[in-house]
Structure 1
Amino acid sequence: MQFSPLALALIGLLLAAWVAGAAGLMIAAASKARAAEGSRKAARRMARMIDEAPAIPLLVRADGRIEASERLAGWLGLPKLPQYLSELDGGTSARGLSGAQLAELSGLVNRTQKTAAPFRMALTPPGSQRSLAVRGALADPQVSPGGAALLWIFDFSESESELSRLRAEASRAKSDFSALVGLIEAAPLPMWFRGPDARLKLVNKAYVAAVGADSADAVVEAQTELIEPVDGLSAAAVATQAAQQKRPIERIVATTIGGMRRSMRVSDLPLGEEGVAGYAVDIEELEEQAREFRAFREAQRQMLDQLSVGVAQFGADRKLVSANQPFRRTFAMGRDAAEGTEFERFLREAREAGRTPEVRDFPGWRSERIEWFASGEPIEEAWPLGDGTHLRVVGQPMPDGGLVLIAEDRTESLALSATRDTLLRTRTATFDSLFEALAVFAPDGHMQLWNRRFAGAWGLAPEEIDGHPTADEFVAKLESHLARPAQAKAIGEIVRGATLDRKQTGGRVALTDGRTLEIAGVPLPDGNGLLTVLDITDSQKAEDALRERNEALEAADEVKTRFLANMSYEFRVPLTSISGFAELLEAGVAGDLTPQGHEYVAAIIESVKRLTDQVENVLDLSQSEAGLLPLAPEKLDLMPFVTKVVREREAAILGGGLSLDLRGGQTVKVEADPHQLGRAIGQVLDNAIAATPRGGKILVDLSRKSDGVRIVVSDNGKGMSRDELRRALEGLRTGPDGRPERRQGLGIPLARQLVEAHGGSLELLSRRGEGTTATILIP
């Protein structure tokens, strides 16, 4: 059969269309197969992703059936996932959910299924440390139609632990922050905080009190600064510098707190981008202590400079810290030897200056002295120097590893010790060579020292006091040697008084051998007592003889006194009688007298008068020498008194052709016996009148001086030589044959006795051919 070309074309077209359709179906089938395979892969991947996801979906249908991954059974501790929600209750076993948890979950699911309200809750399966978070919502109809609820269950056990830890840390941080804030508020020192702009944001109570503000808010609002600007920099500027440099800045400034200037140590601490914190520590007391310490150290150095002992201190680094002037002088340290000199260098320079002992191995000797720093005890040495100086050197280690070196120049003390030894030996030799017997007793009563005469003076053997007996033992040994044993107690009292009572006492004792001893207890400056014993047997005998002679002299003096009294009566009565009878004869009681008789009577009266005066002079002189001259002192105006005495001798002055010049003040007064003082001045005037030739001149001068009243009587007469002046002062003396002899009269001696009886003195100055000057001084 043949087909037409049109049919063939149609057949071809149909076949082509069929092939094309088949090819298209094949391609579509292949695409769907690939799509289905991709969907299966995607479903498996999604299921795997859901299995590996931190949340597990749980679909709860309206009838209570559940669909979920088996992982949820593992989270709940179940062997397999049940079919219904109510079967999640584990009962009494520690699996699944507790009844309360399941009831709460069921209620929330039912509410969501009915109202489409989402919910959230947290579950912790019993007996498990796992924490589950449940988020529930109404499921999409495409997921499950019919009002199912879709629950997403998250395991946030690790998150919960982290959250618990973070909560604990937050709570602890909050507590620490509160404590820190409380601590800052209660801190006794001002503290503050500045923001990045260096403005105050927070201050504590101490800051508020320091600036005298009402509250912290007032301080922050007013930006009241505690620290004053220093060198043009305010506190805020310094805080800005600390923030820029990102390092703390500490400084010491002075500020006013409570009206007082205080030294403060201010610190600004940058806190990153938050701001700058600051605090101020009051160091005024520390500064005051530092000033006091510096003053104390300076005073200590000045005090050490005043000592005679050299003191130097070396630090733990073996360098010189300080040395006083005596130490520098002792070791000839120059001005360049300042503080910081090493100990080794000090010893080397001291050796070069000759201030260390001469040793053969100086390095070894120096090494031994360096070991003093590590010694635990003080070390003392004697350093004899080449120039004869002896040093006592003490090395005192210090707790800080340093060393105090003390140097004392003992040259003088050693010389004094040698001198002391010499003096002790000299004292011992002197004690032994003294005529007195001596013994020294200590305050405890023991006999310490005695000389060789002491035992013999008491009649004791030297061996009896060799054992340094006590005073009581010594006194007990003396009782048998005393004429009166009771005097032994008195000897003990003398020793006790010299040692304990510190008073000097004495006495006399008689021994059985007839000797008499004079004893005395003398306290010594060192607290001991000295007992001196002197044999006065011979002097006692001489004293007895003198006493007998004195008694005889007293008897003779008594006889002399009676003699003077009798002679006064025996002389004056006859003279008075002769004078009276002569006056009667002259008056004509016995009849008229011839002219020659009148001359005789006048001569008798004149002679009696002169004899009466001489008798008065002799008696007064005798009484004055015997100390029996009676005085009746009274207040006298000296000028009128002397004028009266001169007037009594006016006739003699005019008769001798003399002139008298009386000088003196009217206010000169004296305390004296007018009768006796008048006689003394009269005797001196009489001698001046008698010694002045016609035409001569006599001067009487009265004056008051610092030592008393002076009466000067001078003349320009013939004067006296030295021998004549001596004889005039002697007056009446006993001659070689035992008879009294007259020497120049009794006027001057009597006048001197009368003046001396008033406590004054009489001085005579005379030169041959120039005259005589008599000076009477009455205090």
Structure 2
Amino acid sequence: MELSATALALIGLLLAAWTAGAAWVMIAAGSKSKQAEQSRKAARRMARMIDEAPAIPLLVRADGRIEGSERLAGWLGIDKLPQYLSELSGERKDGSLAGLSPEQLADLTQKVRHTQRTAAPFRLSLTTAGSHRSLALRGYLADPQISPGGAALIWVFDFSESEGELAQLREDAARAKGDFSALVGLIEAAPIPMWFRGPDSRLRLVNKAYVKAVGAPSADVTVEKQLELVEPVDGLTAAQIAAQAAEQNQSIERIVATTIDGQRRSLRVSDLPLGNDGVAGYAVDIEEMEEQARSFRAFRDAQRSMLDQLSIGVAQFDAERKLTFANQPFRRIFGIAPSTVVVGTSFERLLSEAREQGRTPEVRDFPAWRKEHVEWFTSDEAQEEAWPLSGGTHVRMVAQPMPDGGLVLIAEDRTEQLALSATRDTLLRTRTAIFDSLFEALAVVAPNGTLQLWNRSFAGVWALDPEMLDGHPNAEKMLEAIAPNLARPKQARAIGEVIRAATLDRKRTAGRVLMSDGRTLEFAGVPLPDGNGLLTTLDITDSQKAEDALRQRAEALEEADAVKTRFLANMSYEFRTPLTTIGGFAELLEAGVAGALTEQGQEYVAAILNSVERLTEQVENVLDLSQSEAGLLPIAKERIELLPFVTKIVREREQAITDAGLTLDLRGGAGGKLEADARQLGRAIGHLLDNAIAATPKGGRILVDVGKPKGITRIVVSDNGPGMAKDELSRALDGLRASADGTGLERRQGLGIPLARQLIEAHGGTLEIISRKGAGTSATILIP
């Protein structure tokens, strides 16, 4: 059957349409396949980006199932991500925790359920036990397109490094805060004023010491009123100086004086710039240090002034071995000029200059010797040397290292000391020779009783064994050896007391003992300046015998004196009684009791009465002189007027003066009084006046001067007669003396002057007679 053309056309159209549809389907399929490939690539890219992202998503469904990347399992410290949220906590085979801890899992579960119910987001930070990572969780309700069942989407961030940095920052911040608090507390408690200024140089912070120093009630008041501690100096305030420190970006330190608590104090003020933050400052009270510095300077000046007064040379060197001071004796010993000290000459140069002047010992290698002495500066101990110099000078050198590295050099000129030492040795030998040559026995005993020194006579006087003394025995042993040689052995104790008093009590005592051989020894203990005691012994046997003889003679003289006294008493009666009888009978004859007398008889009677009167006066003089020499003259003192008393004595001799053709001049002032025996003193003045009348030729002149200068009575009787030579005056003063054979009296001159002297001395006065041949005689009576 043959198809029609229409059918064929339709079939052709259908096949063409089918072919076109197939082609279109093929083209569409290719496009979709290409899109699907692109979607897979995009999905792989997104998955890769999510795997490389710093945050990992975790989808928690409503039934607790979870979906997430295996990388999250590594963050949680587990091997594989479980299917449910409750399985994120567990244990490893070794028993250690893996994943989250039960407390962390419970907290996360609660927050997830709360977000699923309320769609409220949450944040949670935790550290896993398995990996010790710090994770930050941000939870949200998942978009329905992601999970339509009300799932929660959790983004997990790993901030372990940030957490470490944050922890370090927190630790640093806490430490800085603590340090700042400690620093603030330290500044607040600091004993020195401290402050802080802002960029505008105004005070912002002050401590308690600053507040106390300015006398403010509080720190706030101090900052508010801008109370400055330091006064302006040279027109610049403390704020202006702080501004200069900030501009120069350099600390400024100065010493200023300010008033604190009413006292002027020296402060060391420092301003420290702190960049753009401001300027800090503090003040240190250096008043005590300044005072110590002033005291040190004053001490150094006083010390150097004192060293200049010493006889020992002293020089000071500093740590650089330069001469800083040398006193006058040091400069004199080494011939140093004052300019040497001023320029600070080095120690080596000083030794060289001293060597040039011959002021160092002569040595073979001087540079080596000088180098050895330079080591004195580094020595640990003082060094001492003896330097024999030219000209016989000997110097003792002492080098004392100082803690500051310097050196003190002491030079002592021992030339004179050595000479004195040699002289001392000579004196000691001389003393020993003299000590042994004395007749007196001597021994020196130390305070502990040990016999130190003795001479040769000591052992012989005390009959001791010289070998025993050579052992320097003590006093007790020596006394035990002396005791058997004494007539009374117990007297050895008295010798010991004398030794003890001289050595311990420092008293001088003496004693006397009788030896068994009949000798008499006198001993004494004398304290010596060195603390020892000297026992001196003298054999007084011969002098004792002479003393006994003298004692017997003295007793005989006392007996003779008693006989003399009795003789004078008897003679006074025996002389006066006959004279009185003769005078009485002569007066009776003169009165005519026995009848009228002839003219010649009257003359005889008158001559008898005159002789009796003269003899009575002579007897009175002899007896008074004898009694005065024997100390038996009675003196009855009374208060008398001096001038009337002397005038009366002169008036009694007025006739004799007139008959001798003499003139008398009586001088004196009224008012003078005297305690004296009027009769005896009158007799003394009368004798002197009678001698003047008798010795002055006719026409002569006698002067009597009475006065009381300085409370001493003075009576002067002078004449212009021929005077006496020295031997004549001596004989006149002697009067009566015992004859050469001792059996009678020898009259050398009249009795007037000797008697007057005795009478004046009986009143405690003195008689001075001055006479020159041809110039007259002057007798002066002085009575206190």
TM-score (norm 1): 0.89
Report what 2:70 is aligned to: 70
Aligned residue number for residue 674 of structure 2:
670
What secondary structure, in the 3-state scheme, does the structure 1 residue paired with 2:594 have? coil
Per the alignment, residue 224 of structure 1 pairs with 227
Instruction: Find 2:683's aligned residue among 675, 679, 685.
Output: 679
Q: 1:773 and 2:778 equivalent?
A: yes
Distance (whole Å) between structure 2 residues aligned to residue 427 and residue 689 of structure 1: 67
1:546-565 counterparts in 2 under 5 A? 546-565=550-569
**2:213: which partner in 1?**
210
Which of the numbers 168, 171, 176 marks the counterpart of 1:173? Answer: 176
Answer with 145-154 or 486-495: which moved more.
145-154
Match of 1:359 in 2: 363
Alignment of 1:219-298 (within 5 A): 219-298=222-301
Q: AA paired with 2:620? A: E
Query: Cα deviations across residues 510-562 of structure 1 (Å, max 9, x unaligned)?
Result: 33443333322222222222222333333333323322222222222221111
Deviations along 1:699-750, one digit per CA (max 9) or x if unpaired, are 1101223482211112233444444433332333456686545444211221
Range with greater deviation from structure 2 (320-329 or 38-47) = 38-47
Q: Check if 1:301 corresponds to 2:297.
A: no
CA contact (8 A) 2:441 2:455 kept: yes
RMSD: 3.2
Q: Answer yes or no: is the 8 Å Cα contact 2:641–2:674 preserved in 1.
A: yes
**Cα pair distance change 1:476/1:243, threshold 3 Å:** same
Q: How does 1:622-633 map to 2 (within 5 A)?
A: 622-633=626-637
What does 1:86-97 align with in structure 2 at a 5 Å threshold?
Answer: 86=85, 88-90=87-89, 94-95=97-98
Could you tell me how far apart the structure 2 residues matched to 1:96 and 1:348 are?
A: 92
Q: Is the 8 A contact 2:99 2:130 kept in 1?
A: no
Query: How far 1:390 moved relative to its partner?
Result: 0.7
CA distance in 1, matches of 2:555, 2:164: 135
| Contact 1:313-1:321 within 8 A present in 2 as well | yes
Partner SS, residue 727 of structure 1: helix
Letter in 2 for 1:765: I
Query: 1: distance between equivalents of 2:163 and 2:461?
Result: 119
Paired letter, 2:628: S
Matched, 1:343 2:347: yes
Give runs of aligned pairs for residues 602-751 of structure 1, distance below 5 A.
602-706=606-710, 708-734=712-738, 740-751=745-756
Identify the match of residue 753 of structure 1 among 747, 752, 758: 758
The alpha-carbon deviation at position 311 of structure 1 amounts to 2.7
1:139, distance to aligned residue in structure 2 (A): 4.4
CA distance in 2, matches of 1:742, 1:155: 159
In 1: Cα distance, 2:285 partner to 2:26 partner: 98
Deviations for 1:598-623, whole angstroms, at most 9, x for unmatched residues?
A: 33333222221111111101111111
User: Could you tell me which residue of structure 2 aligns to residue 11 of structure 1?
Assistant: none
AA in 2 matched with 1:260: Q
Distance change >3 Å, CA 100–CA 651, structure 1 → 2: closer
Consecutive unaligned residues of structure 1, counting only runs of 5 or more, are: 1-22
Which range moves more in the overlay, 357-366 or 525-534? 525-534
Task: Provide the C-alpha distance between the structure 2 equivalents of 1:126 and 1:30, rounded to a whole number of angstroms.
Answer: 52
Q: How far apart in 1 are the matches of 2:546 and 2:336?
A: 72
Amino acid at match of 1:443: P
Pair 1:161–1:667, CA change in 2 (3 A): same
SS in 1 for 2:530: coil
Residue type of the alignment partner of 2:234: D
**TM-aligned CA distance change 1:211 to 1:769, over 3 Å:** closer
Q: Distance in 1 between matches of 2:194 and 2:500?
A: 77
Matches within 5 A, 1:318-337: 318-337=321-340
Q: In the superposition, relative to structure 1, how do residues 106 and 604 fare at CA in structure 2: closer, same or farther (>3 Å)?
A: closer
List alignment gaps of at least 5 residues for structure 2: 1-22
* Cα distance change of structure 1 residues 36 and 263 upon mapping to structure 2, 3 Å threshold: farther
What does 1:122-161 align with in structure 2 at a 5 Å threshold?
A: 122-125=125-128, 127-140=130-143, 149-161=152-164
SS in 1 for 2:489: coil
Structure 2 Cα separation of the partners of residues 704 and 160 of structure 1: 128
**Identity percentage of aligned residues:** 73
Deviation, 1:346, is 2.0
Task: Give the secondary structure class of the aligned counterpart of 2:583.
Answer: helix
SS in 2 for 1:337: helix
Q: Distance in 2 between matches of 1:469 and 1:126?
A: 101
Equivalent pairs, count? 758
Distance 1:89 1:501, change over 3 A: closer
Whether 1:536 and 2:540 are equivalent positions in the alignment is: yes
SS at match of 2:56: strand
Q: Which residue number in structure 2 is paired with residue 50 of structure 1?
A: 50
Structure 2 distance, partners of 1:476, 1:57, is: 126
The alpha-carbon deviation at position 52 of structure 1 amounts to 0.6
CA distance in 2, matches of 1:157, 1:338: 76
The residue aligned with 2:429 is 425
Asked if structure 2 preserves the Cα contact closer than 8 Å seen for 1:765 and 1:772, the reply is yes
Amino acid at match of 1:74: G
The residue number in structure 2 matching 1:579 is: 583
Whole-angstrom distance in 1 between the partners of 2:110 and 2:550: 153
- Judge which range, 304-313 or 186-195, deviates more: 304-313
1:268 CA drift (Å): 1.9
Q: Could you report, residue by residue, the CA deviation over 1:348-382 in whole angstroms, capped at 9, with x for unpaired residues?
A: 11111211111122122222323334444433221
Give the CA deviation at 1:96.
5.3
2:124 to 121, 127, 140: 121
Contact 2:684 2:755 in 1 (8 A): yes
Name the amino acid aligned to 2:51.
Answer: D
CA distance in 2, matches of 1:701, 1:502: 58
CA separation in 2, counterparts of 1:96 and 1:466?
A: 111
Which residues in structure 2 correspond to 1:584-603 (within 5 Å)? 584-603=588-607
Alignment match, 2:449: 445
**Farther off after superposition, 196-205 or 265-274:** 265-274
C-alpha deviation, 1:159, in angstroms: 2.1
User: Aligned in 2, Cα 1:288/1:592: closer, same or farther, shift over 3 Å?
Assistant: same
The alignment partner of 2:233 has SS state of coil
User: Are the equivalent residues in 2 in contact too, given 1:392–1:409 (CA < 8 A)?
Assistant: yes
Inter-partner Cα distance in structure 2 for 1:744 and 1:381: 84
Alpha-carbon separation, structure 1, partners of 2:302 and 2:24: 121
The amino acid across from 2:180 in the alignment is: F
Is contact 1:88-1:102 (8 Å) kept? no
C-alpha displacement at 1:657, in angstroms?
A: 3.4
Change in 2 beyond 3 A, CA 1:40/1:495: same
Kindly indicate whether the alpha-carbon contact (under 8 Å) linking 2:70 and 2:81 is maintained by their aligned counterparts in 1: yes
Equivalent position of 1:13 in the other structure: none
Deviation at 1:472, TM superposition (A): 2.8
Q: Give the conservation status (yes or no) of the 8 Å contact 1:89–1:99.
A: no
Is the CA contact (8 Å cut-off) linking 1:638 and 1:669 kept in structure 2? Answer: yes
Please give the secondary structure, in 2, of the residue aligned with 1:280.
strand
What is the CA–CA distance in structure 1 between the aligned matches of 2:195 and 2:68, rounded to whole Å? 61
Kindly state the Cα deviation for residue 760 of structure 1 after the two structures are TM-superposed: 1.9
